[in-house]
Amino acid sequence: MVGFKPPEVPPTATVKFLGAGPAACVADVITFPLDAAKVRLQVQGEAKLVGKGPAAQYKGVFGTIATTVRTEGPRSLYSGLAAGLQRQMSFASIRSGLYDSVKQFYAKGCRAGELAGAMAVAFAQPTEVVKVHFQAGREGGRRYQGTIDAYRTIARQEGVRGLWRGTSPNITRSAIVNCAELVTYDLIKDALLKSHLASGEAPGSAAETQLGPCNFHPKHLPGLTPRLRLSPGR
């Protein structure tokens, strides 16, 4: 911020591990309804594509949110929040905590971002799978008694590997995000620190600009409904 000088000693990896997770959780709580709407629109679009889904009932992000609240209640927008917070605590902590350490071994920060993101995805993928199952709502065709029950049910019905379904496209997604976001963040941060300012929003915008196709990859929404099963072979 204006009037503050950048710290002479950078934060340690431990500080980054402990700070990134809670910060990401705060952001997740605020944006979770938007993420839920995104998942429902993706499931509806895939169902329409294969010709096995009902007539479209969601139109646009805010239309999806309004329809969900009207038909299922406001709390449904936060279905899967526990898994979402678990994902942020694991994914964001690992990615941010490892990035600067890994960057020391690469001349280009993009490679470091890819590796840190891939490791974070590999660890946090089960939380992503459970989160998406909850967010799909009625379109998912399943009901769980809680987050732990969801982990157990998916592992029992699909095997433990089912919890890591969609890992490959998610790693691809993460590579694009981290190259666009972390590297852009570094560049803007260095430039703004010289001017005694702060950076934050631009990296996320740069990442989302390149991210769309990976967000809609069929493998990213695995096994949500009996009539619309998105298997690894698709």
> What integer pLDDT is reported at residue 106 of this predicted model?
75
Q: In this model, does residue 97 exceed pLDDT 50? A: yes
Mean pLDDT over 20-35 rounds to 94
Angle between helical axes of 81-103 and 147-158 (0-180°, round to 10): 80
Looking at residue 114, what is its pLDDT? 84
Question: Has residue 167 got a pLDDT over 60?
Answer: yes
Kindly state the DSSP code that residue 6 receives in the 8-state scheme: P
Percent helix / strand / coil, the chain, rounded to 5? 75, 0, 25
Top pLDDT among 53 and 186 is at 186
* Pairwise pLDDT comparison (89 vs 230), residue with the higher score: 89
Handedness of CA 213, 167, 115, 205 (dihedral sign): positive
Q: What is the pLDDT of residue 52?
A: 61
CATH superfamily of 13-220: Mitochondrial carrier domain (1.50.40.10)
Other residues' Cβ atoms within 10 Å of the Cβ of residue 125 = 20
Cα separation, 184 vs 32, in Å, equals 24
pLDDT given for residue 1 in this prediction: 46
In this structure, what DSSP letter does residue 227 have?
Answer: T
Q: Is the pLDDT of residue 228 over 80?
A: no
pLDDT in tens, 37-83: 999 988 887 776 666 655 558 888 999 999 999 988 999 999 999 99
Q: What is the model's pLDDT at position 206? A: 44
The whole-angstrom distance between residue 127's C-alpha and the CA centroid of its chain comes to 10
| CA–CA gap between residue 173 and residue 38 (Å, rounded) | 15
Average pLDDT of span 89-94: 91
What pLDDT does 136 receive?
84
Model's pTM, two decimal places? 0.72
**Residue 220 or residue 126, greater confidence:** 126
Domain boundaries in the chain? 13-220
| pLDDT tens-digit series, residues 192-203 | 877 765 545 544
Kindly report the three-state secondary structure assignment for every residue of 37-71.
HHHHHHHHHHHHHHCCCCCCCCCCHHHHHHHHHHH
Helices 81-103 and 167-194, packing angle to 10 deg: 60
